[in-house]
Amino acid sequence: MDLAYLIEALVKVLIVLGFTLLGVPIIVWMERKVLGHMQDRIGPQRVGPFGLLQTIADGIKLFFKEDVVPSQVDKVMFAVAPAISVVTALAAMSVIPFGDHVTLFGRVIPLRITDVSIAILFLLGATSMGVYGIVLGGWSSNSKYPLLGALRSSAQMISYELAMGTALLPIILMTGSLSLLQIGRAQTHMWFIVPQIVAFVIYMICAVAETNRAPFDLAEAETELVAGFHTEFSSMRFALYYVSEYANIMVVSAVAITCFLGAWNGPFLPGWAWFLIKLVAFLFFYIWIRATFPRLRYDQLMTFGWKFLLPLALVNLAVTAVVLTVKG
Amino acid sequence: MLEGILFAMFAGVAIGCALGVVFHRNPVHCALLLVGVLLSLAGVFILLHAAFVAALQVIVYAGAIMVLFLFVVMLLNVKGETPLLTPGAAKGFGFLFGLIVATELLWTVLSPGGSEGGPFPAAALPAEFGSPAGLGMLLYTTWLYPFEIVSLLLLVAVVGAVVLAKRKFF
Residue B168: pLDDT band (50, 70, 90) is low
Nearest chain A Cα distance for residue B85, angstroms: 26
For chain B, how far is it from start to end, CA to CA, in angstroms? 62
> How many CB atoms are closer than 10 A to CB A285?
12
DSSP structure string for chain B: -HHHHHHHHHHHHHHHHHHHHHH-S-HHHHHHHHHHHHHHHHHHHHHTT-HHHHHHIIIIIIIIIHHHHHHHHHHHT--TT--SS-HHHHHHHHHHHHHHHHHHHHHHHHSTTTTTT-S---TTS-TTTTSHHHHHHHHHTTTHHHHHHHHHHHHHHHHHHHHHHTGGG-
Is the CB of B51 less than 8 angstroms away from the CB of A154? no
Tell me how long chain A is: 328
At B85 the pLDDT is: 55
A116 touches chain B (CB under 8 A): yes
Neighboring chain B residues of A158 at a CB cutoff of 8 Å: 64, 67-68
A117 touches chain B (CB under 8 A): yes
Is the CB of A125 less than 8 angstroms away from the CB of B32? no
At B126 the pLDDT is: 67
Single pTM value for the model = 0.82
At B118 the pLDDT is: 52
How many Cα atoms are found within 13 Å in the side-chain-facing hemisphere of B19? 5
Q: How many CB pairs under 8 A join A and B?
A: 60
Is the CB of A121 less than 8 angstroms away from the CB of B55? yes
> How many CB atoms are closer than 10 A to CB A130?
28
Residue B99: pLDDT band (50, 70, 90) is very high
At B77 the pLDDT is: 67
Write out the H or E segment, with its range, that includes residue A178: none
- Judged against a pLDDT cut of 60, whether residue B125 lies above it is answered with yes
Nearest chain A Cα distance for residue B59, angstroms: 5
Is the pLDDT higher at B55 or at A265?
Answer: B55
Three-state DSSP at A312 gives helix
DSSP structure string for A45-76: -SSSGGGTTHHHHHHHHHHHS-----TTS-HH
Residue A44 preceded by cis peptide, ω within 30: no
pLDDT in tens, chain A (328 residues): 578 778 888 888 888 888 888 888 888 888 888 888 888 888 787 887 887 888 888 888 888 888 777 787 777 888 888 888 899 988 888 888 887 777 777 677 777 777 777 888 888 888 888 888 888 888 888 777 888 888 888 788 888 888 888 888 888 888 888 888 888 888 888 888 878 888 899 998 888 888 877 777 776 666 667 777 777 777 788 888 888 888 888 988 988 888 888 878 778 777 788 888 888 998 898 888 888 888 877 788 888 888 888 999 999 999 988 998 888 7
Do B52 and B135 contact (CB within 8 A), yes or no?
Answer: yes
Kindly tell me the number of DSSP H helices and DSSP E strands found in chain A: 12, 2
For chain A, how far is it from start to end, CA to CA, in angstroms? 42
The Cα–Cα gap between B136 and A172 comes to 14
Of B35, B63, B74, the CB nearest to A139: B74
The residues pairing with A101 across neighbouring beta strands, listed in sequence order, are A110
At B100 the pLDDT is: 93
The residues pairing with A108 across neighbouring beta strands, listed in sequence order, are A103
Tell me the one-letter amino acid at A135. V
The residues pairing with A210 across neighbouring beta strands, listed in sequence order, are none
Tell me the one-letter amino acid at B116. E
At B170 the pLDDT is: 53
Nearest chain B Cα distance for residue A74, angstroms: 10
**Residues of chain B numbered 87-146 and touching chain A (CB < 8 Å):** 131-132
Do A98 and A250 contact (CB within 8 A), yes or no?
Answer: no
The Cα–Cα gap between A307 and A305 comes to 6
Three-state DSSP at A108 gives strand
Picking from B35, B67, B68 by the largest number of A CB atoms within 10 A of its own CB, the best residue to mutate is B67
Tell me the one-letter amino acid at A177. S
Q: Residue A26 phi/psi, 5° resolution?
A: -70, -40
Write out the H or E segment, with its range, that includes residue A230: none
The Cα–Cα gap between A82 and A80 comes to 6
Q: Residue A141 phi/psi, 5° resolution?
A: -65, -20
Do B80 and B25 contact (CB within 8 A), yes or no?
Answer: yes
CA–CA–CA angle A128, A279, A292 (5° rounding): 80
B6-9, long-range: CB < 8 A, 24+ apart:
B6/B43, B6/B47, B7/B44, B7/B47, B7/B119, B7/B120, B9/B43
Is the CB of B67 less than 8 angstroms away from the CB of A125? no
